[in-house]
Amino acid sequence: MSVLRVRTWAVIAAMVAASVPSAASAESRRARVDRQIADLDQRGGQSTQKLRVIVQPGRNSAAVLKALRSRGVRIRRNHARIGRMAVELSRRDLKWLETLDGVDSLSLDAPVTAAPLANSEFTEGRTFTSLGKGKSYGNQTVGANSLITGDGSTFNGNELRALLGVANDAHRGAGVGIAVIDSGIAPVADLADRITAFYDFTNGQGGVPTTPVDGYGHGTHVAGLAAGSGLMSNGQYEGVAPDAHLIGLRVLDDSGSGSTSDVLAAVEFAIANKAALGIDVINMSLGHPPLESATTDPLVQAVQAATQAGIIVVVSAGNVGVNATTGQIGYAGILSPGNAPNAITVASAKPMGTLDPTDDLVANYSSRGPSWIDGYAKPDVAVPGQMLLAPAAPGSFLVTHYPSLLSADGNYIALSGTSMAAGVESGLVALVLEANREARLVPTAPDLTANAIKAFMEYTAIPMHDATGADYDRLSQGAGRVNGQGVMALAQSVDTSVPAGSPWLTTAVVPSSTYDGVQIPWAQNLVWGNNIVWGENIIWGENIVWGENIVWGENIVWGENIVWGENI
């Protein structure tokens, strides 16, 4: 994709100027604040209004905590492992806190939702109506039983594993734990015996052990894609890692909504109980628009803390890649915490009714990079996420509001989005961990790290092209379509128990995979940090000009029109 020169630097100058705080506000404030707090400061209002804020103290967190208590500020929760405090205070006290020595940054306790179900998909001249809460969904039904045959017939085997090229692989995620931080997990037949622990964090409960439940239905679907047994479908809709165990950490209510502080509590709980509950992977198919740099964003920093604790975190990129009104593709729509550097951030690939991954398309709705504010190269890989059937949570919001998406027997529901792609990817990560553990000469050697697994996923990925044959840019597909067969081959060829300084690779690996009798080469490239390693022509700096009139600084631009910035 060619890079266009900026047609007018005046536009960029105006956008940059809009992102710089006024001299007066900068001088009176010591702590960095997110966009929401900056807006509150600018608008003013009643000084007694109560707000929920997340505080990032500096090195002397004890002094900050003491000052907050002396001021009478309510400490809702101290997230010591993540370096944050959730507090409730008045606007008057917020102004005081902004100038308190020892406070590095302040963020509003932002609402968090399940990554919105794919709003629209524009393909083959058909427009599918919105699937958002409270909206109708009238133009598409679950007509075919099989993603692979596409003709209503039943595919003989596990569909997801076949799409990933691991249908005949003996690994099934045994001994690997996946924590699903979402709306819960319903104990349906495909999942009941996989759920080994369940805790409720909604409404500030802080992790109450309870019977598994899911009033929204999103978490159940994601969990089923990752580790469902397929019992209700004779194995056809089995998850990618059906022998993995599930830890349900409920942070979203029956409407699919929650708060950043509840998610922080769940992530911190997972870190603290990694060994006790056997948590190896966290799935986060949720988030909110980026409101500040990833360096201070509480959700991002929670993901970073989890990966540093040895947990692999898979995050959905978001479903805001297309303008629902015009159908125009947009860039820089990665949601938080999909902008976390250490997360495996996934786009949604759209299977085209075959086992051949080279004909998969990037779903129009899938959020594209780079990340807002920081310009990180995201997403990392694209994973099947379009119209996937997985267990339905009986009586949940999604089941009762979208009956047309249910399978004929009502046991499964077909959903699309990067949330679904993340569930598939989490299951694949479980297979990789199991396979690599078996391949190590010393069983007690360290597991593959989050960055190692991400690198394996990217290196073995399969480059994608659109329906015309043109290559997708790397901000749409990441390194390419995930290649389960390839990443499993690589995972079984490395040994982390070798002496320091020795190569991990213990056996030769052919950099290609065979799908349906066709040999397909790997991408053998990485997308990392704020650079695409093999380098396309990107103008980095304060702003990026990319593709067809995509200019970003403080806002996303679809062609000529800014569609998000302050409000999304």
Report how far residue 385's alpha carbon sits from residue 361's, in angstroms, rounded to the nearest whole number: 11
Is residue 2 annotated as a catalytic residue, yes or no? no
Is residue 218 annotated as a catalytic residue, yes or no? yes
Answer whether 219's CB lies under 8 Å from 390's CB. Answer: no
Is residue 426 annotated as a catalytic residue, yes or no? no
* Helix and strand numbers, DSSP H then E, in the chain: 15, 29
User: Who contacts 521 (Cβ-Cβ below 8 Å, separation ≥6)?
Assistant: 462, 511, 512
Question: H or E element: which one contains 179?
Answer: strand 177-182
Report how far residue 263's alpha carbon sits from residue 260's, in angstroms, rounded to the nearest whole number: 5
Of these residues, 416, 419, 426, 476, which one is catalytic?
A: 419
Helices within 29-112 (DSSP H only)? 35-43, 61-71, 91-98
Angle, helices 298-308 vs 260-272, to 10°: value is 10
Dihedral angle at the C-alpha atoms of 104, 529, 281, 200, nearest 10 degrees? 40
Answer whether 491's CB lies under 8 Å from 455's CB. Answer: no
Of these residues, 93, 182, 374, 495, which one is catalytic?
A: 182
For the chain, how far is it from start to end, CA to CA, in angstroms? 28
Name beta bridge partners: 85. 55, 78
Residue whose C-alpha is closest to residue 358's, from 457, 517, 486, 466: 466
Tokens 């085209």 belong to 352
Of these residues, 79, 171, 218, 245, which one is catalytic?
A: 218
Report how far residue 320's alpha carbon sits from residue 171's, in angstroms, rounded to the nearest whole number: 34
Report how far residue 38's alpha carbon sits from residue 25's, in angstroms, rounded to the nearest whole number: 9
Report how far residue 196's alpha carbon sits from residue 356's, in angstroms, rounded to the nearest whole number: 35
DSSP annotation of 329: B
DSSP annotation of 446: P
Residue whose C-alpha is closest to residue 260's, from 238, 242, 280, 284: 284
How many degrees, rounded to 5, is the angle at CA 477 between CA 110 and CA 413? 65
**Residues with a known catalytic role:** 182, 218, 419
